[in-house]
Amino acid sequence: MADKAVEIANLLAPTVASLGVELLGAEYLPSPGSAVLRLYIDVPADEAVGEDGQPRSVTIEDCEAVSREVSAQLDVEDPISGMYTLEVSSPGIDRPLFTLAHYARFAGETAKVGLKLPQDGRRRLQGRIVRVQGNDVVFDVDGNEFVTAFGNIDKARLVPDWAALGMAPVKPGKDKPAKGAPKGGASKAKK
């Protein structure tokens, strides 16, 4: 997270926690005329399963409650000069990674990473998170170990495994016909 985003996240985290959700991180995107402050919230990991045994996730009501409380706090604290839009969101399936703890939690998953400074001739990479090692994150990129300082990571998001989720896109003309359906074109009705 950029310094301003970290500052805002640290300011707002206790308020968000008081509402029963966790502030994963913030993105602050300044632009001429109006900025965007995007907050990502989630159910705390130790509460990810509800009392009924079902997975618990962030609801629209959670986002609305956080938006109301945080808006009031931002009006009082005023950490952002000028106009801005506040967005409160669940992390989504391609969740952003903001802390070393996030990398440790999602070891084994694939992430897309943007670096602040080039390393080994690259500023972007996609690889499997292997482990957190001190203040470094270790990735497997194309079968090679890639180690970078956490402080050199600008942005990172998990890459969903669409096939494992049963949601892999099918290329046009490449889909398989249903079982029992004729192969290779339209069928004619029998008379």
DSSP H or E run through 111: strand 110-119
Instruction: Please count the structural domains in the chain.
Output: 2
Same domain, 75 and 53: yes
Within this chain, do residues 41 and 69 fall inside the same structural domain, yes or no? yes
Q: Can you say whether residue 62 is alpha, beta or left, with left for phi > 0 and alpha for psi between -120 and 50 degrees? A: alpha
pLDDT at residue 190 in the model: 46
Q: Are residues 7 and 50 in the same domain?
A: yes
Q: Are residues 12 and 81 in the same domain?
A: yes
Q: Is residue 77 part of a domain?
A: yes
Q: Find the Cα–Cα–Cα–Cα dihedral 120, 126, 130, 134, rounded to 10°.
A: 50
- For residues 22 and 75, state if they share a domain: yes
Residue 21's pLDDT is 96
pLDDT at residue number 183: 52
Task: Please give the residue range of the domain that contains residue 29.
Answer: 3-89
Three-class SS of residue 167? coil
Q: Alpha carbon of 72 to those of 65, 96, 155, 188: distances in Å? A: 11, 25, 28, 66
Kindly give, in sequence order, each residue whose CB lies less than 8 Å from that of residue 46, ignoring residues fewer than 6 positions away: none
Q: Do residue 125 and residue 148 come from a single domain? A: yes
Whether residue 146 is found in the same domain as residue 72? no
Predicted pLDDT of residue 87:
97
3 state SS of 65: helix
- Averaged pLDDT, groups of 10, the chain, 191 residues long: 85 96 94 92 84 86 97 92 92 94 96 96 97 98 97 96 78 62 48 44
Q: pLDDT at position 11, please?
A: 95
Angle among Cα 161, 165, 171 to the nearest 5 degrees reads 75
pLDDT at 164: 77
CATH number at residue 149: 2.30.30.180
- 83 contacts 34 by C-beta, under 8 angstroms: yes
Same domain, 7 and 70: yes
Q: What are phi and psi of 20, to 5 degrees?
A: 85, 10
18 CB-near residues (< 8 Å, 6+ apart): 69
58 and 131 part of one domain = no
- The answer to whether the CB of 125 falls within 8 A of the CB of 99 is no
Distance spanning both ends of the chain, measured CA to CA: 68
Whole-structure pTM value: 0.79
Can you tell me the distance from the alpha carbon of 136 to that of 145, in angstroms, rounded to the nearest whole number? 12
Same structural domain for residues 82 and 139? no
